[in-house]
Chain A
Amino acid sequence: MDAKISGIMFEEMAKKPAVWLSGEGVNSQVVLSSRVRLARNIANTPFPARSDSDVKERIISFVKTAVEKSPELSRGTFLSCSQLDDLDRSFLVERHLVSVEFTACHDFSALLIGEEENVSVMVNEEDHLRIQALVSGLEIREAFRLADHVDDELSKSLQFAFDSSFGYLTSCPTNTGTGMRASVLIHLPGLALTREIEKVISQISKLGLVVRGFYGEGSDVWGNLFQVSNQTTLGRSEEDIVESLERVTQQIIEYEENARKRLFNEAKDQIEDKIWRAYGILRYARALTSEEVLNMLSAIRLGMGMGVITTVSLSQINEVLALSQPAHLQKYFKKRMEPGERDRVRAELVRSKLGD
């Protein structure tokens, strides 16, 4: 598949909702998506950082063969990094299909995108393979089941570097063992507004999990979106990790709901004002940055959750959020745009999607 075709493929993809924004899963108002990532390396071969281009090419061809042997995986799309231009790569990051690290890839990395777009495999990122499953809503177990299945399919033809004490061997020792990073993407405007988020973060870190802002850090977290994930990967079973993340996420949802109740009881007028102002800006602004859209949509999502706004649907705000991202915007309109033009086009798109 040549570069032009993959470019077109992404233009088509831009019209469909991304898995993390499909709003279909359980609790997807608060928990947007669940993700499980497994790190694997092929046995008896140097890890990517220590491999020259010949080795890397061999790895790609081993993986490609393994994919072709699997009736299921072969229905996905296998792309070489050289087929992806900078816009394609940004698009894939926005889709949560690849990591930011992957965008620095060169000819000797590759990517498999599953048919349903809920599974992807990066080849020659930090490890030979990074298997990822992404599911809408709070569905960590399902994400694990999908990733685990891809792992099993691939291990029918590939032998993975493994030690019975240390588990799956990875490039960075922080991933050794299960090689598994399970995470949820969660919207916490209540906790952010009541400034309780720091307390929650420190509590969670005592449980072997870590919370960080998804876009941005510290007090500058865009859209009040946070990621909760496990910190350790060795010494616990995959089942344990899934179960503890699930439990803690349920707890966080409860804290968030309580924070929102308190806000509603104690500061109803201010909150409603904030929500409706955000709505006003999105409906009438003539230029919008993606940061602004993220932040305004956070207020609207909160408004919907609290019953303040009822004229907008979850799928509408998810669609706006998806398409307002820089690469998505350009893929959707099928042309490259400078930031200034993007801001105007974005505002126009938002007005048309939210208007009547």
Chain B
Amino acid sequence: MLCQDCGKKEAVVHLTQVINDEKLILNLCRECAEKRGFRNPLEGVPFPLAEFLASMLSQTQTQMPDKQSNLVCSACGMSFTDFTQSGRLGCGNCYLTFRSQMDDLLRKIHGSTQHRGKFPQATGDVMKPLREERKLQEELKKAIEEEDFEKAAQIRDKLKTLTKKI
């Protein structure tokens, strides 16, 4: 199969991107893949993440309705287009402004969109109930796995009360 970009060399890099239910398949030779920012991580060359992200995002860009690409963060002024070009976000609020795109992107990068790690310590009032909620959710999951349904029901009730408070 020949590379779809140059049409000359044999395609050795095969990529499948699924964006919003649309499949995009790329068959490229080594050189054209590198030109697009895809490099073989097995070569031990450090993955140029910003470029890789930017190229993945620009593919997304061309397939998204215009209004989404005009999103601008109200806190720092970064537009989604800026982000696709640099691969870097402007501030914490960008994550909220571009939430659905970030969901997609983070799923692609990490295989997940839900943080399962540490919560900040001392931002007490705001964080505590959120931490509690997360803790109870994990306990509920465990209780169900262990088929301790009585315990699960108790935890579920605790969660209901807590969610009302948040």
Residues of A near any B CB (own CB < 8 A)? 41, 43-47, 49-50, 126, 148, 151-152, 155-156, 159-174, 176-178, 180, 198, 201-202, 205, 210-213, 217-218, 221, 232-238, 240
Q: Given A173-B106, A233-B110, A235-B111, are A178 and B44 also a contact pair (CB < 8 Å)? A: no
CA distance A212 to B47 in the complex (A): 10
Q: Given A41-B92, A173-B105, A210-B41, are A238 and B118 also a contact pair (CB < 8 Å)? A: yes
Cβ-based interface call for B90 (8 A): yes
Give B73-116 as 1s and 0s: 1 = Cβ < 8 Å from A's Cβ atoms.
00110100000001111111101100000100110011111111
What total of A-B pairs shows CB separation below 8 Å?
145
CA distance A322 to B25 in the complex (A): 48
Q: Are A43 and B92 in contact (CB under 8 A)?
A: yes
Chain B interface, >50% SS class? loop
Q: Given A44-B75, A166-B102, A173-B109, are A49 and B86 also a contact pair (CB < 8 Å)? A: yes
* CB of A227 to closest CB in B, whole Å: 10
CA distance A50 to B82 in the complex (A): 11
Query: Interface size of B by Cβ–Cβ distance < 8 Å?
Result: 44
- Which residue of the partner chain, among B44, B47, B87, B92, contacts A201 with CB atoms under 8 Å? B44
Q: Given A155-B122, A205-B41, are A47 and B117 also a contact pair (CB < 8 Å)? A: no
Q: Are B90 and A47 in contact (CB under 8 A)?
A: yes
Q: Given A152-B121, A174-B49, are A235 and B116 also a contact pair (CB < 8 Å)? A: yes
* CB of A191 to closest CB in B, whole Å: 13
- Which residue of the partner chain, among B92, B112, B115, contacts A164 with CB atoms under 8 Å? B115
Q: Given A155-B121, A173-B106, are A165 and B113 also a contact pair (CB < 8 Å)? A: yes
30 A–B pairs (Cβ distance < 8 Å), ordered by A: A44-B92, A46-B76, A50-B76, A50-B78, A155-B120, A160-B120, A162-B123, A163-B115, A164-B130, A165-B115, A166-B113, A166-B115, A172-B50, A172-B53, A172-B87, A173-B53, A173-B89, A174-B49, A177-B110, A177-B117, A201-B44, A202-B42, A210-B47, A211-B44, A212-B46, A213-B44, A217-B44, A218-B45, A234-B115, A237-B116
Contacts of B44 in A (CB 8 A): 201, 211-213, 217-218, 221
* CB of A47 to closest CB in B, whole Å: 6
Q: Are A235 and B123 in contact (CB under 8 A)?
A: no
Residue of B nearest to A197 (CB): B44
Q: Are A162 and B120 in contact (CB under 8 A)?
A: yes
Contacts of B114 in A (CB 8 A): 165, 234-235
Q: Are B78 and A232 in contact (CB under 8 A)?
A: no
Q: Given A49-B86, A218-B44, A235-B110, are A169 and B123 also a contact pair (CB < 8 Å)? A: no
Q: Are A234 and B45 in contact (CB under 8 A)?
A: no
Cβ-based interface call for B149 (8 A): no
Supplied contacts A213-B44, A233-B110, 13 more A-B pairs, CB within 8 Å: A46-B75, A46-B90, A47-B90, A50-B78, A163-B115, A164-B134, A173-B89, A202-B42, A205-B41, A232-B111, A235-B111, A235-B113, A237-B116
